[in-house]
Amino acid sequence: MKIVGHNLTTKESFYFFEIAKGLWITSRHFIYNMYFHIAHLLGKYPEVPAAVTIQYPEEKIPLSRRWRGRHRINARPDGSPRCVACMLCETVCPVQCIHIVAGEHPDPAIEKYPVSFEIDVTRCCWCGMCEEACPVDALYMDTGKNPEPGFSREDLLYRKEQLVKEMPLPGCQRSLNAPGQGPMEANPLGL
């Protein structure tokens, strides 16, 4: 083993110049950010970012089109879920957080429908495999929402009735049949 040491040069050993150099870098960033923050307040240079920090609650990072957020179930034009209770998502789910009870639909053309569809979001690992497995354009994770905290386990059990009301995040929707939306727009990140 060889220890690589760093011997201070004569200039460095005075410390004074190094302190001044550090102060200069800090002051430069401070003045730059301060200037542009004030400028933003006055409505000037909105395209120039003031700091690397994102001012989170007011400002959000544009989400990737592939970003996996809370689940939603696509609805048919009549508002019923498109899910046919094939249980492929339940099968593929590595943490077994999806529970479906299938039933006989009165319309023989639909035949099978979920009597209950529950996602136990406390168990979900956000892998997105359910979305991939879905054969009928029903289950998506494109709401762009994070799971909200709840006061009970019941609050974190997302049911069919709730999932079917969720909307995709504009621009991020992955289904061509998403409710209330036109065809997919350009990617906000330009990817």
Partner 1 sequence: MPTLTIDDQQVTVDQGTTILEAAKKLGIAIPHFCYHPRLTKVDACRMCLVEVKDAPKLVTSCSNAVRDNMVVFTGTPKVEEARKSILEFILINHPLDCPICDKAGECTLQDYYFRYSSQPSRFKDNKVEKHKVVDLGAKMVLDSERCVVCGRCVRFCREVVGEENLGIFNRGDHSEIGTYPGKKIEHNYQGNLVDVCPVGALTAKDFRFKCRSWLLCKADTICPGCSNGCNAVVHFTLRSFNGIKGQRVFRLTPRENNDVNKIWLCDVGRWGYSFVDSIDRLTTPALKKGEDFVKGDWDTALRETASGLKTVVERYGPSAVGVIPSPHLTNEDLYALKCLFSCVLKVANIDFKLPGLDKGEGDKLLLKADRHPNTRGAELLGLSGTGLSAEAMMEKVKTGEIRALYLAGSDPVKYIGEKAEEALSRAELLIFQGTNFSASCKLAHVILPGATFVEKEGTFTNYQGRLQKINKALEPLGEALADWEIFTRLGKRLGAYPSYRCAEEVFKDMAREVAPFNGLSYQKIGPQGIKIADSSQ
Instruction: Please give the Cα distance from 122 to 29 (Å, whole number).
Output: 42
Q: Which range touches partner 1 (CB under 8 A), out of 33-41, 42-50, 79-87, 146-154?
A: 79-87
* Between 50 and 89, CB nearer to partner 1: 89
Binding mask 31-70 for partner 1 (x = CB under 8 A): ----------------------------------------
Q: Which of 5, 43, 79, 108 binds partner 1 (CB under 8 A)?
A: 108
Print burial letters for 113-122: b (CB count within 10 Å at least 16), e (below 16).
Answer: bbeebbbbbe
Query: What's the rounded Cα separation, in Å, for the pair 16 and 86?
Result: 72
Edge-first strand order for the sheet with 157-159 is: 98-104, 112-120, 157-159
The reply to whether 96 sits near partner 1 by the rule CB under 8 A is yes
User: Does residue 89 belong to the site contacting partner 1 (CB under 8 A)?
Assistant: no
Closest CB to partner 1 among 27 and 91?
91
Counting contacts by CB under 8 A, is residue 174 touching partner 1? no
Burial of 98 (0-12, 13-18, 19+ CB in 10 A): buried
Please tell me whether residue 76 binds partner 1 under the rule CB under 8 A. Answer: no
Task: Answer yes or no whether residue 163 interacts with partner 1 by CB under 8 A.
Answer: no
Q: CA 83, 118, 158 angle in degrees (round to 5)?
A: 110
Element (H, E) at 21: helix 16-41
Considering only residues 131 to 160 of the shown chain, the ones binding partner 1 according to CB under 8 A are: 135-136
Footprint on this chain of partner 1 (rule: CB under 8 A): 84-88, 91, 96, 99-104, 108-109, 111-112, 135-136
